[in-house]
Structure 1
Amino acid sequence: MKKIVNYKVSGEEWTKAKDEAFAKIVKKAKVDGFRQGKVPRSVFEKKYGTGDIISEAMEKIVDAKYGETIVKEKLIPVVEPKLEIEKANDDELEFKITFILDPEVKLGEYKGLKVKKEKVKVTKEEVEHEVGHILDRYAELVSKDGAVEEGDTAIIDFKGFKDNEAFDGGSAEGYSLEIGSHSFIPGFEEGVVGMKKEENKDIELSFPEDYMAKDLAGQKVVFNVTVHDIKKRVIPELDEEFFKDLDMEGVTNKEELNKVVEEEIKTQKEHDAENKYIDDLLEAASKNMTIDLDEEIVDAEVERMYKEFTNRLKMQGIDEELYFAYAKVTKEKVKEDMKKEAETRVKYRYLLEAIVKAEKIEISEKDAKAELKKMAENYKMTEEDLLKEFNNSLEVLKYDLAMRKAIEVLKENN
């Protein structure tokens, strides 16, 4: 919901604002023949004009009018208000502020939605597949005779040449190359397949046209490669030694391992099913809700999501610009792709807030503190450190708990 407020400041009010602005600016003004801060206004305006005075006065007036409106109209902007200056001169100031407020929400039917929760089932194939992953993690690389094959790891030296000159970043010694990992440009791994120990050969290739390094993109190159060793992955037997290395509590044989794996898969599937069930309930209830969302609110959510995204990149040690180059996307495209999810998140948030209001859900200080203590124990953190995750505000935790209770209302009344 938008509220546009127009302002016009002139006469004595505007004159006073400019006088106060000049009194502030003149303290730093330097004019030959005058001490700093003692420059007469006429001299100042002749040298510098009135632009800085008007700008300073305008800033102070806008801040004051904004604060007055917020208090008088009891407004709670949900995103940064939009300021538009329509006129600013020696005689008057005219501007308008567009306040973006929470939209009006009309709850539809949110009970008796008849949403079905998926039943969880774990198959024998899924258990075997996961056990296979565990065995793969404990696999050893063992030297072999013969030629390099798909799945092998070749220990190689390589050096890349462009126009008979070695290029930067194209060389390494004792490099472990897993055939099938596709970690090199197309054709490199295929060129190594079939080579034997201590064999040397030249592999002629071309870099992809869209390669990140522009000086190499689309260029023909030659890699001189020597294979020093060839290793194959050896999957361990499910014997006593393996289970000793596995060191999994209560697991000493294949049957016990299968049982533990089955429970882990089941737990994960139940977690996923629960999340999908909640999403399906929110989707069904939101379809019955009437809400007119301002684009600015969705855009603000996109910005928040984008910040989360870049923070995750930083935690992984990935440079933002390097990611865009590698993924062949732009910042604008990433944000555009986030827009649909951002709109859904915002709708669900307003839906749950409306349910909290309709159901008169309240979270007491006592309940919030009890939950904080419980969470701190679960995460093995101090309550003080955990509260920082809620912006050091118990009110944020109360809000979170209220939203959770609203979800429980949907589930219990489905």
Structure 2
Amino acid sequence: MSKVNQLGNYKGIEVTISSRQVNQEDVEREIQQLLSQRSQLVEKDGTVENGDVTTIDFKGLKDGVAFDGGTAEGYQLEIGSGSFIPGFEEQMIGMAKGETRDLNLTFPENYGAKDLAGADVVFQVTVHHIASKVKAQLDEEFVKSLQIPDVETVDDLKMKIREGLENQNIQALNAEKENKVLGVLIENSDVEVEDEDIQRALDQHVQYVTNELAKQGMALEQYLQMMSMDQDALHAQLMPAAKQQAIFEAIIDEIVKVENLMTSDEDVDRQVDLMAQQYQMDKKDILEKIDLEGLRRDLNRIQASQLILNSAKFIVE
């Protein structure tokens, strides 16, 4: 178990936070993004230009040998999207339909796959189709096609977008407050963090990534292959956050002890009811799946975090 040798002052922490305002430019940018997402692709003659959507075959070769994850057929690539390594899309500009071209490229030094990081490679690319994106028009027909409840007109859409951006600002502001306050607390505390606590935090981060990918219909293994990463590279990427989490949890648990915080049985039961409602499951099934003491610990930690944040002083820039 990790040990807190010195607990920093956790009451009255003072931090500076950013001022966030939604302006008309923010709303317009979101609208343009919506219009772009609903663009139609129109087949074109001529050569590839920035912004075109191409359908290509490609094969990546290192020292004349194809490497894993570097080959695809019928791949749709928007030129200028930055989807591929630097230079790939730029060197495709000017290609014609049916043309094959060798792209001489270098992988970034910090690329996820160690065997490709900094390597000189050749991509053999064949263009099969070239299409222009024709952006949708902002009118009531477009607004209705979005099927957003209670949004019928362009003005309704702009108001809805503004509300959404304001809610995002509130969430971002709350996250900034929490990150900065807890960052100061971690900096002012001395913690001996155990490897097992770091590993547990790392496992949680990996599980979170796995769950988020599953929501998009993608397995972790597919994601790693697409990103040319292996498990070790993913763990190295997540390790700093895992260490920070392990330190934070040790500090928060110490504050729970110092403040003698304890979530009541009634509050634990109320949280179980909320979980059953959220996941649309019977309460009995929820109780069979969760660790009640683990849930109580998490609720205790939330109490401690709120105590810290409620006493903090925020200066708006």
Output the TM-score relative to the length of structure 1.
0.59
Query: 1:353 maps to what in 2?
Result: 253
> Displacement, 1:144?
3.3
Q: Aligned partners of 1:131 and 1:321: how far apart in 2?
A: 30
Match of 2:283 among 383, 386, 398: 383
Q: How does 1:102-251 map to 2 (within 5 A)?
A: 102-155=2-55, 172=73, 176-181=76-81, 189=89, 193-195=93-95, 200-206=98-104, 225=126, 227=128, 229-251=129-151
Query: 1:308 maps to what in 2?
Result: 207
Q: Is contact 1:207–1:220 with CA below 8 Å preserved after alignment?
A: yes
> What SS is found at the alignment partner of 2:25?
helix
2:303 matched to 1:405? yes
Query: 2:315 maps to what in 1?
Result: none
Q: Aligned partners of 2:41 and 2:85: how far apart in 1?
A: 24
Q: Please list every run of 5 or more consecutive structure 2 residues that lacks an aligned counterpart in the other structure.
A: 313-317
Q: Deviations 1:91-130 (Å, cap 9, x if unpaired)? A: xxxxxxxxxxx42554342212233554431122222111
2:273 matched to 1:373? yes
Q: Is contact 1:313–1:319 with CA below 8 Å preserved after alignment?
A: no
Q: Aligned partners of 2:124 and 2:304: how far apart in 1?
A: 64
> What SS is found at the alignment partner of 1:231?
strand
Q: Aligned partners of 1:375 and 1:219: how far apart in 2?
A: 51
Change (3 A) 1:266 1:321: closer
Q: Is contact 2:202–2:238 with CA below 8 Å preserved after alignment?
A: no
Q: Is contact 1:298–1:339 with CA below 8 Å preserved after alignment?
A: no
Tell me which structure has the larger Cα radius of gyration: 1
> What SS is found at the alignment partner of 1:319?
helix
RMSD, aligned CA: 4.0
Q: Please list every run of 5 or more consecutive structure 1 residues that lacks an aligned counterpart in the other structure.
A: 1-77, 79-101
> What SS is found at the alignment partner of 1:308?
helix
> Which of structures 1 and 2 has the larger relative contact order (alpha carbons within 8 angstroms, sep 6+)?
2
Change (3 A) 1:203 1:248: same
> Displacement, 1:134?
1.1
Q: Deviations 1:126-184 (Å, cap 9, x if unpaired)? A: 2211111111111111233444322122356x58799xxxx898684x65443334667
Q: Is contact 2:276–2:286 with CA below 8 Å preserved after alignment?
A: yes
2:225 matched to 1:326? no
> Displacement, 1:403?
0.7
2:169 matched to 1:258? no
Match of 1:293 among 192, 200, 203: 192
Q: Aligned partners of 1:399 and 1:341: how far apart in 2?
A: 21
Give me the identity figure in percent: 27
Query: 2:174 maps to what in 1?
Result: 274
What one-letter code is carried by the residue in structure 2 that aligns with 1:326?
Answer: S
Change (3 A) 1:385 1:272: farther
Q: Is contact 1:313–1:320 with CA below 8 Å preserved after alignment?
A: no
Q: Aligned partners of 1:207 and 1:250: how far apart in 2?
A: 50
> Displacement, 1:246?
0.9
Q: Is contact 2:52–2:133 with CA below 8 Å preserved after alignment?
A: yes
Match of 2:291 among 390, 393, 413: 393
> What SS is found at the alignment partner of 1:122?
coil
Q: Aligned partners of 2:225 and 2:71: how far apart in 1?
A: 21
Q: Aligned partners of 1:317 and 1:105: how far apart in 2?
A: 41
> Displacement, 1:250?
1.9
> Displacement, 1:288?
4.0
> Displacement, 1:302?
6.0
Change (3 A) 1:105 1:379: farther
Q: Aligned partners of 2:122 and 2:53: how far apart in 1?
A: 26
> Displacement, 1:325?
8.2
Q: Aligned partners of 1:345 and 1:103: how far apart in 2?
A: 14
Q: Is contact 2:91–2:103 with CA below 8 Å preserved after alignment?
A: no
Q: Aligned partners of 1:184 and 1:294: how far apart in 2?
A: 39
What one-letter code is carried by the residue in structure 2 that aligns with 1:241?
Answer: E
Change (3 A) 1:193 1:296: closer
Change (3 A) 1:265 1:413: same
Q: Aligned partners of 1:309 and 1:201: how far apart in 2?
A: 43
Q: Is contact 1:207–1:218 with CA below 8 Å preserved after alignment?
A: yes
